[in-house]
A and B are shown apart, each in its own frame.
Chain A
């Protein structure tokens, strides 16, 4: 049933392409309906899954027998969490793009294609199929940014596409090598994730394949120092693009790190644990530090994404149940929160004020003119800070607990990162909405700012509610994640392996 999330999205793409050129309204409605349908399927499918600790096969058909590749879609607890996230983020993105007038139907066609590809990645249990969906998302991303973006959109789009492409090709090298070695060891060719996870790759092999594949996926996850596409790309992208990019696409990278790199090469993961943790913490602190000095509102959020993904990567590096659980929860939480932050910056503020420079925003008294935006940003900001009651706190809690066990010094540095996070968020809140700066006598904006529209309100409430619900009742998601981590698929990673 969950496979329909993919198919519905692509059917939506086809329908949109057949629409006449000027049918903007119809395009929006069709896109929204498609996204809602996809999300509903995701929820229903997730509820139906009786045992999240098991990998439940959705469809498994032979594809290329000579390679051992199957069209194999399946879901376990972690896939469910991320599929639900995609569903929510998809709807929110469409709501916040309700005002796109330029070539609307193409925008939503690319958008839905991206969503379909993302669903595909989260549901693939065949490595080649996962790779296919992963690469498939690059093209819609490129066009979304290059055509509908803002600051330096062509440069940002190209940079993002190339980085993603290079990253995925690094993964390809590793995959081919692993396929060959697995075939030599087991005697038959396979690209099935479950079967490959049982193969004991030689330690020397894992020593170089793991970092290759991890970094390949990590580039998309914002692993420092390969993160430089992220701030440029996020700023260049249109609002929905940034929401999806930071919210969901970066999670593709992290998911790949976990599902492919770490599950297939557990000993390699153990060998490189310390380095990954170090890079993760550097990312946390660096992202937060650079966010603190930005003059452009959107850049602050872009760098904050790098910082938050650092937490995900730190959680992955801990290689214990609680750290990994925190990493997955942080993927979900940050997906929601980043979407919210970009929505405020891009849709609520920039589309109205046409500036993202703090010096200009300071004089606009947005806290009074756009109170809904102000409150939303405050809530999103405190959620992003990791305030208890919101989803980010439980996730960071778990990551830090997991990290304490293995990397005490790094954990303390991560604490510094949290404080820096507080600082830049506070700065952004103050400068953008509640500044005490003097309002110039004759401001350039004599026209009043248009009020926050209904789609924006619905989207904002939806996302805030999601974050609050998970923050207060994290058990809802943890009941999916934790049994999954106790399943045989992760056994070698968490407990033993060759080392």
Chain B
């Protein structure tokens, strides 16, 4: 084992780790006594530089290596995903740059970066232990990020719920992993797959599958493991919620797909209509279906935009799980396209909510009234993001959905057995249009209240949001740009 090789492979993460230390030290030493805005500004600058360094390292070490036997796998796809995660981090930092919700600026930024490190390791992991460790690193950071708003009691409540649920699901996950280890004698995913081949559906294997699904189901907020999500999204400071909704989803789905398709390779079963075979596919199918239905239907009655986005996140998790269960190369590509564009979109949406919340003091629907007059650029970005989430062409959300749905149906081309799932997804997607339109109605159709406070959008945030909106439109019109790398 050549440590130099390992270091080279882990260069991006290392760079980020150093950045964490830099941010903390700069904030501690040099910026005591400065205003929060200033501290955020400089801290953000340092973080972004660090991210860019990490990006550079990712580029220069593009290649295929596996120095630690599955603990750190570097290949073009994982590199690309790391780029995406870094980009999301940069956007998150830009969006939180105006944040006044905390005095602990350095710690905040450090935690964001730590979460990113965790996610990046997660993406490169093909070993059960590594997966768990990186997942925990990311999760713990996210729990604390949720609690960051000390002025709001709901923040702590949300974080506690998140933590409790998270801890429990981590336990489930670990239990499942230990079972897997027991069954196969290894923690390395390809070896597990080889060992389990031809075993059929062992009861222990079944338990392992179920617990793994529970563990990850919690992470991606799928029904019935979603109960933490609405409160967490609502209570957390909005930039944190943005990061939870975007970055962790990308990594989690990628690794979930990897575990399911690589680790439990022989035990798929089938979720085809009239052709049920026990395995993890029908299990995920049920979870997906429940998520889509519950997420969309509950979102209809929400009056808080953050909660609305939370329930919509649950629904979108359902769509993405469809990409997992289809279990073909094209469905995995589709899944990645979907989750990446979703992450960009939802980050942007939360960004807009951050600004509005800051300016009007709340995130209720009524606070958005007349947004198109008060902040035209901002509401235009909101329009793009929400329509993309609804799946209106020619935005990225539509193409993502089209990819996933066609991949799912195409998985069983002869009998179109998975069509029932797609029908459900499409119908629920149609339902989702209603609640997204409600928000847009507030912004575009209704007039602002008489004494509505003016909305001033910080330049940096506006820049980030516009860039995200442009990306969403671009990827919708020319999806090839992204597909090339998947």
Interface residues of B in 417-463 (CB under 8 A from A): 419, 422-423, 426-427, 429-430, 433-434, 437, 441, 444-445
**Interface with A: B72-80, B273-281, B310-318, B386-394, which one?**
B386-394
CB-based contact B394/A136 at 8 Å: yes
CB-based contact A139/B430 at 8 Å: no
Question: With an 8 A cutoff between CB atoms, is A255 at the interface?
Answer: no
For the complex with contacts A139-B387, A184-B413, 6 further pairs of A-B residues with Cβ separation under 8 Å are A66-B483, A67-B402, A135-B393, A136-B393, A166-B430, A172-B402
Question: With an 8 A cutoff between CB atoms, is A65 at the interface?
Answer: yes
Please, which residues of chain A bring their CB within 8 A of the CB of B422? 173, 176
A132-B393, A135-B398, A176-B405 known; A147-B433 Cβ under 8 A: no
CB-based contact B392/A176 at 8 Å: no
Bound-state CA distance A66–B486 (Å) is 12
CB-based contact A180/B413 at 8 Å: yes
Please, which residues of chain B bring their CB within 8 A of the CB of A184? 413-414
User: Which of A64, A128, A146, A172 gathers most chain B CB within 10 Å?
Assistant: A172
Q: How many chain A residues have a CB neighbour from B under 8 Å?
A: 35
Cross-chain pairs A/B with CB under 8 angstroms, 12 sampled: A64-B479, A64-B483, A131-B393, A136-B393, A157-B445, A161-B433, A176-B422, A179-B410, A180-B416, A183-B413, A184-B413, A184-B414
Please, which residues of chain A bring their CB within 8 A of the CB of B434? 158, 162
User: What's the nearest-Cβ distance from chain B to residue A237, in Å?
Assistant: 14
Question: With an 8 A cutoff between CB atoms, is B330 at the interface?
Answer: yes
Bound-state CA distance A176–B410 (Å) is 9
Question: With an 8 A cutoff between CB atoms, is B406 at the interface?
Answer: yes
Please, which residues of chain A bring their CB within 8 A of the CB of B413? 180-181, 183-184
User: What's the nearest-Cβ distance from chain B to residue A71, in Å?
Assistant: 9
Question: With an 8 A cutoff between CB atoms, is B209 at the interface?
Answer: no
User: What's the nearest-Cβ distance from chain A to residue B432, in Å?
Assistant: 9
Please, which residues of chain B bring their CB within 8 A of the CB of A299? none
CB-based contact A169/B427 at 8 Å: yes
Question: With an 8 A cutoff between CB atoms, is A177 at the interface?
Answer: yes
Which secondary structure characterizes the binding site on chain A?
helix
Please, which residues of chain B bring their CB within 8 A of the CB of A132? 393-394, 398
User: What's the nearest-Cβ distance from chain B to residue A317, in Å?
Assistant: 26
Please, which residues of chain B bring their CB within 8 A of the CB of A385? none
CB-based contact A146/B430 at 8 Å: no
Bound-state CA distance A180–B410 (Å) is 5
Q: How many chain B residues have a CB neighbour from A under 8 Å?
A: 33
User: What's the nearest-Cβ distance from chain B to residue A19, in Å?
Assistant: 13
Please, which residues of chain A bring their CB within 8 A of the CB of B403? 67
Bound-state CA distance A170–B424 (Å) is 11
User: What's the nearest-Cβ distance from chain A to residue B412, in Å?
Assistant: 9
Query: Which A residue's beta carbon lies closest to that of B383?
Result: A139
Please, which residues of chain B bring their CB within 8 A of the CB of A136? 392-394
Interface residues of B in 264-288 (CB under 8 A from A): none
Interface string of A135-162 (1 = CB under 8 A from B): 1101100110011000000100110011
Bound-state CA distance A138–B398 (Å) is 14
Question: With an 8 A cutoff between CB atoms, is B409 at the interface?
Answer: yes
CB-based contact A165/B433 at 8 Å: yes
- Report the 9 A-B pairs with minimum CB-CB distance, sorted nearest first: A132-B393, A184-B413, A146-B445, A169-B430, A180-B410, A166-B430, A180-B409, A165-B433, A169-B426
CB-based contact B393/A143 at 8 Å: no
Please, which residues of chain A bring their CB within 8 A of the CB of B483? 64, 66
CB-based contact A128/B402 at 8 Å: yes
Please, which residues of chain B bring their CB within 8 A of the CB of A180? 406, 409-410, 413, 416
Query: Which B residue's beta carbon lies closest to that of A64?
Result: B479
Query: Which B residue's beta carbon lies closest to that of A103?
Result: B373
Query: Which A residue's beta carbon lies closest to that of B418?
Result: A180
Interface string of A176-190 (1 = CB under 8 A from B): 110111011000000
Please, which residues of chain A bring their CB within 8 A of the CB of B393? 131-132, 135-136
Interface string of B244-260 (1 = CB under 8 A from A): 00000000000000000
Bound-state CA distance A155–B71 (Å) is 56
Question: With an 8 A cutoff between CB atoms, is B480 at the interface?
Answer: yes
Query: Which B residue's beta carbon lies closest to that of A184?
Result: B413
User: What's the nearest-Cβ distance from chain B to residue A76, in Å?
Assistant: 24
Bound-state CA distance A139–B478 (Å) is 21
User: What's the nearest-Cβ distance from chain A to residue B323, in Å?
Assistant: 14
Please, which residues of chain A bring their CB within 8 A of the CB of B444? 143, 146-147
Please, which residues of chain A bring their CB within 8 A of the CB of B402? 67, 128, 172, 176
CB-based contact A173/B423 at 8 Å: yes
User: What's the nearest-Cβ distance from chain A to residue B288, in Å?
Assistant: 17
Cβ 8 A contact of B416, one of A63, A166, A177: A177
Please, which residues of chain B bring their CB within 8 A of the CB of A166? 427, 430
Please, which residues of chain B bring their CB within 8 A of the CB of A169? 426-427, 429-430
Bound-state CA distance A184–B403 (Å) is 17
Bound-state CA distance A132–B403 (Å) is 14
Please, which residues of chain B bring their CB within 8 A of the CB of A172? 402, 405, 426
Interface residues of A in 212-235 (CB under 8 A from B): none
CB-based contact A173/B426 at 8 Å: yes
CB-based contact B437/A142 at 8 Å: yes
Interface residues of A in 112-135 (CB under 8 A from B): 128, 131-132, 135
CB-based contact B406/A179 at 8 Å: yes
Interface residues of A in 267-296 (CB under 8 A from B): none
User: What's the nearest-Cβ distance from chain A to residue B134, in Å?
Assistant: 31
User: Which of B330, B405, B414, B483 gathers most chain A CB within 10 Å?
Assistant: B405
Please, which residues of chain B bring their CB within 8 A of the CB of A138? 392
CB-based contact A146/B441 at 8 Å: yes
Bound-state CA distance A196–B52 (Å) is 47
Please, which residues of chain B bring their CB within 8 A of the CB of A179? 406, 409-410
Bound-state CA distance A181–B387 (Å) is 29
Interface residues of B in 339-384 (CB under 8 A from A): none
CB-based contact B409/A162 at 8 Å: no
Bound-state CA distance A213–B16 (Å) is 52
CB-based contact B480/A64 at 8 Å: yes
Query: Which A residue's beta carbon lies closest to that of B392?
Result: A135
Query: Which B residue's beta carbon lies closest to that of A131?
Result: B393
Please, which residues of chain B bring their CB within 8 A of the CB of A161? 433, 437
Query: Which A residue's beta carbon lies closest to that of B414?
Result: A184
Please, which residues of chain A bring their CB within 8 A of the CB of B426? 169-170, 172-173
A64-B479, A64-B480 known; A177-B409 Cβ under 8 A: yes
User: What's the nearest-Cβ distance from chain A to residue B331, in Å?
Assistant: 12
Please, which residues of chain A bring their CB within 8 A of the CB of B429? 169
Interface string of A58-91 (1 = CB under 8 A from B): 0000011111000000000000000000000000
